[in-house]
Amino acid sequence: MNHDFLDLSALSKESARIIIDEAHARKAARHGFAKAQVDADAPLAGHMLAMIFDMPSTRTRLSFDLAMRQLGGQTMMINQSESQLGRGESIADTARVISRFSDVVMIRTGSHKNIEDFSTHASVPVINGLTSFSHPCQIMADVQTFEEHKGPVKGKKIAWFGDGNNVAVSFIHAAVLFDFHLVLAVPEAFMVPEHVLAWARAQGGQIDITQDASAAADGASALVTDCWVSMADDPETSAARMAAFAAYRVTSDLMQKGDDPIFMHCLPAYRGKEVSEDVIDGVNSVIFDEAENRLHAQKAILTYCLGKSHGA
C-alpha cells in the first residue's frame, strides 16, 4: 500500500518505528556490505521521483536525489520558476499532470496548504520535504542520529532551544510517536502553535515548555537548535529575533548541564549566534552524521511511501 508522508502526526507509532529501523538497516548495509550486495538491492528500480523546489536546498536535494538513485530509481527536478506552476497553473492541475509522469513526489515549499492541496489532487504518494509548518524528513534523520549515539530514544530527554519553528513542530510530533521527553526552551512570542501542543497533550506526549535554557538542558541527552533568522526575514525583523533568542544560545556551559549530551542542528548553522563555535565544532557535535542520515532516512521514507519497506 502506498502512503503520503506529509506530517509525523499522521503516522502510527508502528509506521514511525518501521521507517527508523529501515533507515538504520539501510545505512548499515551501505557501510558494511560488499558493493555487489548493495547494488543488488534496488527496490525502486523503474520508479521515478519528481522533486519540486520552491526555495533553495542543499541537504534535501542531495539526499533525495542520491537516495532514489541508490534504491535503483531515477529523479527529475522541477523548479517553480521553470514550470507552468510558476506562471499561474493551479496546484490541482499540476498535481494531476506530475502524477502521470512519476511514482512519488517530494515537495519543498512555503505554505503547508500547498502540499496538502497537492496531495489531495495527486494520484501518487507525496512527501513533505519542508514547509513553513513542519519538517518531518529532518526529524526522522535526527531520531536516527540520536539512536546511533545515545541508544533507543524512548524515555530520553531532548531539549530544544530558540525558535518554535517548523523543526520544533516536527520534534513535538516525534516526541509523541517515539515516547521521548521533549523540553522546549522558547520565548513566549515565538512559541509553536497552540493546536500542536494541544494535539501532543491529547496523545499523552511528554512536552514541557520553559523560558529557562538552563532548566531545559538539565539532564538532557541531546541539545538541539536551529538558525534564528530565515531567508525571508528583513533586517529589522532579523535584529528583533536575534535579541529575543540571545538567552537561548547553545554554549559549552549549557552543554555541561546535560547528561553527556550530543549537539544537533539541521543546518545551515551560524556560529556565534544560535550556537557557540566550540559546541558545534566540538566532540559532542553530531551535525554531519545528522546531515548524512538525511540520505538513509530518505531511503526509508521513499520505501515506506511506495510500500517497499522491509517491515511493511
Choosing from 26, 47, 135, 173, the catalytic residue is 135
Active-site residue, 96 included: no
Active-site residue, 298 included: no
| DSSP symbols for 224-271 | EE--SS-TT--HHHHHHHHHHHGGG-B-HHHHTTSSS-EEEE-S---B
Distance CA 166, CA 152 (A): 24
Active-site residue, 37 included: no
DSSP H helical segments within 8-87, as ranges? 13-32, 35-40, 59-70
DSSP H helical segments within 54-211, as ranges? 59-70, 91-101, 112-121, 136-150, 166-178, 194-202
Distance CA 43, CA 303 (A): 8
- Whether the CB-CB separation of 238 and 192 falls below 8 Å is answered with no
Can you name the residues that pair with 224 across neighbouring β-strands? 160, 264
Choosing from 294, 296, 298, 305, the catalytic residue is 294
Choosing from 138, 163, 265, 298, the catalytic residue is 138
Distance CA 99, CA 105 (A): 8
**Residue 263: all three cell numbers together:** 549537539
Choosing from 26, 47, 108, 181, the catalytic residue is 108
Choosing from 137, 227, 266, 305, the catalytic residue is 266
Residues 6+ apart with CB under 8 A from 286: 145, 148, 149, 262, 263, 264
Active-site residue, 108 included: yes
Active-site residue, 249 included: no
- The angle formed by the CA atoms of residues 193, 104 and 11, to the nearest 5 degrees, is 40
- What residue type is assigned to position 53 of the chain? F
Active-site residue, 266 included: yes
Choosing from 3, 226, 298, 305, the catalytic residue is 226
Question: Which residues are designated catalytic?
Answer: 108, 135, 138, 226, 266, 294
